[in-house]
Structure 1
Amino acid sequence: MKDRPEGIDESALRHALDAWGPGTTALDYVPLGFGDYHWTAETPGGRRFVTLSDLTEKYHCGIGPEAAWHGLKRAMDTAAELADRGLGPADGGFVVAPLRTARGESVRRIGERYAVAVFPWLEGAAGDFGDEPAAAERAEAIGMLAALHGERPPAAARALPPELSARGRLEAALTAVREPWTGGPRSEPARELLAEHAGAVRGRLDDLDRLTARVLARGAAPVVTHGEPHPGNVLRHGDRRFLLDWDTAGLALPERDLWLVARDDADLDRYAGLTGRVPDPEALALYRLRWSLEDVDAFVAWFRSPHTATADLEQAWRGFSDTVNMLLS
């Protein structure tokens, strides 16, 4: 995030980082990404990358701080176990998992609202969410996904059904467009946009239900998925590629990852050749639609809540507008 988190100072963060070993000598905020807060930390063991998660906003991990904490912990534990098996960068792998504390924890809580994880520092450059990788880069990403999907599920991996995380909340917002929203500067614009397209959004929810019923009826086995293997979460360093941001990890159909990477039949054929599993077109459509509806719900929840004008808010507004228009196409 570009804006720093509310209600926490760096002294509390430094204290929490002592669990990974005392002696942090420098802590510098990095205005990077969207969703979590990041710092670089200089420690006796070398440079580290620190991520702070706001549990009140971690909807994909659980609704509310307590549920989000447990969901986040299971996702981080899943990634950590994959790295323990030899899939981490130090062993030539691609899973950039959180480092464990002296007590073996992959993530620690700071108060009721926040949780912190520490990652190895890796040189390289990541892309952006909207990038369109060339065929060779997609092939590399599909290779990573094929290897991940073939792994035995870690004990911590939680099942992630294709239903929306907070269906009731989005439906309540669709009903609430009849009354003014007063959370902040983007409340009324968001209400007006959602009110204008409420029928179309409800129709897309019905489409999601139909796709979910048909896909689940086939009984395909779930696999370990990353959840967001888009270019913004792929770090490139020379000829190596690494997958970042494992807070969305869990058990789901492989199409949960594939729709974000595959662009044509050649990509899907490559995955089938590596895994022996032919991607399901309806499952790809299901997860593509689910992504957009999840975004609409998360943005609307933000705009209906108390908020002020910030750079992150404006980025959220652009994302909300684009997503609503995408649902109409």
Structure 2
Amino acid sequence: MEDLPVGLSDDELAAGLARFGVTGTPVYAPLGFGDYHWSAGDHFTSVADLTAKPLDGLRQAMETTASLSALPFVVAPLRADDGETVVLLNGRYALSVFPFVAGEAGTFGNPPPAGVNELLAELHACSPPPHTPAAALDLPGRATLAALLDDPGEWFSTSAREIFVAHAEVVRARLTELDRLAAALPPERVVTHGEPHAGNVIRTADGLKLVDWDTVGLAPPERDLWLTGGQSPFYALRWSLDDIAQFIEKLRAPHERSRDAELSMHYFRTTLEAL
């Protein structure tokens, strides 16, 4: 995120970092479009907004990632003073801390570097840790989309409402198509990363590293492979519909004009147009 999180103080962040033994002044890193990140010496932090990412699911994902740390390409979370991989900063935000990885990061939208599929093959072949979550097939934001299809209501952003209404029938048709494609998925379930796109791959002196494991879960291999050159109409469509639902939540919430709000509107429009 490019904007700083609303409702999180510097003191709350510092107190959370201290529980991981991290001191000094963290430097904000405007990366990605979901969590908030700071670099702090030899550490890299990820702060999740619990209104969008439930705490129990985040903890389960981080514990799974910690259990996968024997795989050389897994950048796993560190543990706090009480052994937890996720620490509450306040009622809305939670912190995870990782070792800082020196290297060249990719960019979302670009092809992943050569060798990523070999890492994924190793991941898919590993024995799942006992607490590995199942990656849900259903669309997390389906209820939001369904409610707005029935009644767009009054949004905070009138222009966002108008864009959605103009594409409502396409969204409705794609939801039906998603259900049809889900029924045809193979039964195989393996440990998947969930988002192994170029932006989550770092090229280092020790080889490729995969970061951002909060989407780890048991699923068909196609959940990963469609992002690295494979084919999966289900997961490609699910990604687009999930993006639309997430942008809806950002655009419905009251906010001041900001770079993140502008990006949300841009990607909301372009994703709908591409359905």
TM-score band, normalised by shorter chain? over 0.9
How many Å apart are 1:19 and its aligned residue? Answer: 1.6
Aligned 1:74-93 pairs, distance under 5 A: 74-83=60-69, 86-87=70-71, 93=72
1:198 pairs, out of 168, 172, 178, with 168
Q: Is the deviation greater in 1-10 or in 226-235?
A: 1-10
Q: 8 Å contact 1:173–1:300 — kept in the other structure?
A: no
| Structure 1 partner of 2:91 | 112
2:184 pairs, out of 206, 211, 214, with 214
Partner amino acid, structure 1, of 2:52: E
SS in 1 for 2:79: coil
Normalization by structure 1: what TM-score?
0.80
2 CA distance for matches of 1:255 and 1:190?
32
| Structure 2 partner of 1:287 | 235
SS in 1 for 2:272: helix
Aligned 1:41-60 pairs, distance under 5 A: 41-42=40-41, 47-58=42-53
| Structure 2 partner of 1:268 | none
Aligned 1:160-179 pairs, distance under 5 A: 160-177=135-152, 179=153
1:245 pairs, out of 212, 216, 236, with 212
Structure 1 runs of 4+ off > 4 angstroms?
none
Higher helix share: 1
1 CA distance for matches of 2:220 and 2:207?
26
Aligned residue pairs total 275
| Structure 2 partner of 1:224 | 191
How many Å apart are 1:237 and its aligned residue? Answer: 1.8
| Structure 2 partner of 1:29 | 28
Question: In the alignment, does 2:128 pair up with 1:180?
Answer: no
Deviations 1:170-205 (A, max 9, x none): 11122222x432x2xxx2111111101100110000
What are structure 1's unaligned runs of at least 5 residues?
Answer: 59-67, 88-92, 264-280
SS in 2 for 1:259: helix
Instruction: Provide the aligned C-alpha RMSD in A.
Output: 1.5
| Structure 2 partner of 1:129 | 108
What are structure 2's unaligned runs of at least 5 residues?
Answer: none
| Structure 2 partner of 1:18 | 18
1 CA distance for matches of 2:222 and 2:80?
33
How many Å apart are 1:161 and its aligned residue? Answer: 2.4
Q: Is the deviation greater in 302-311 or in 242-251?
A: 302-311
1:310 pairs, out of 258, 264, 273, with 258
**Cα–Cα, structure 1 residues 261 and 251, in superposed 2: closer, same or farther, change >3 Å?**
same
1 CA distance for matches of 2:204 and 2:133?
31
2 CA distance for matches of 1:326 and 1:57?
24
1 CA distance for matches of 2:81 and 2:249?
37
Q: 8 Å contact 2:62–2:85 — kept in the other structure?
A: yes
2:229 pairs, out of 262, 279, 283, with 262
